[in-house]
Amino acid sequence: MTVSEDSLPLPKHVAIIMDGNNRFAKKMQMQKGAGHREGKNVLDPIVEHCRKNKIQALTVFAFSSENWNRPQFEVDLLMALLEETIQEQLPRMQQFNIALRFIGDRSRLTAHLRELMLQAEQWTAKFDSMTLTIAISYGGMWDMAQAAKQIAADAVAKKIAVEDINVELFGQHVSMADLPAVDLLIRTGGDYRLSNFLLWQAAYAELYFTQTLWPEFTVEEFDDALAVFAGRERRFGKTSEQIQQEKIEN
């Protein structure tokens, strides 16, 4: 059965750590880097499935702050694949009415790539069926440090008082502040860690870890993750009894 047929409660915002590309290439005896190209092709059906199920936002981890430490040939390949992805996705974004965004530290990217990303964001900004965000040169600690820097600058400029700084204000300065918080975070590839991804935005996310390598991840397993999410009780600090009472009252 499809998710819609089950009428399961769905997350508003899903995030995915797309891990296991290199291990897939090794498993399939492919050339180094070929797993990343295979992984790039997996994203399209997942995006379409999210839109079909009216998930508001999908955020994927394409390249972390720490990935700059990888071998140069792999970094170069990933940058080239990102450029290909942007160019390939623009017609799809128009077809499916999806806004395309990027988060991360752009200072280490080439001027050409930065311009391409900016143009893509501007061209798709009016699309409103869903938001696809690609995290590139991104780290959750960097994100929070940038937010702290912006708030500190506002405090020095006396735009805000120190007493005004709270969780709500901080949350307005991290990436994707205008999108719903991450409800479900999926990590493929068998590792059980967040790897510095969306540390603020996914503070209350339900976590789904799978041994499946990203190039082998399917829409069917994505539905499995959605089903697991639907079966979780999200308490946000409350007790189960309180949650059940609220359901009765509503």
- Continuous H helices in 128-239: 140-156, 167-171, 219-231
- Catalytic residues, which ones? 19, 67
CA distance 18 to 156: 39
Instruction: Report the 3 state secondary structure along 120-134.
Output: HHHHHCCCCCEEEEE
CA distance 87 to 84: 5
CA distance 21 to 85: 16
Look up residue 63 and give its two tokens.
């390249």
Collect all residues with Cβ–Cβ distance below 8 Å to 59 and sequence separation of at least 6. 13, 14, 15, 16, 103, 132, 133, 134, 135, 176, 182, 198
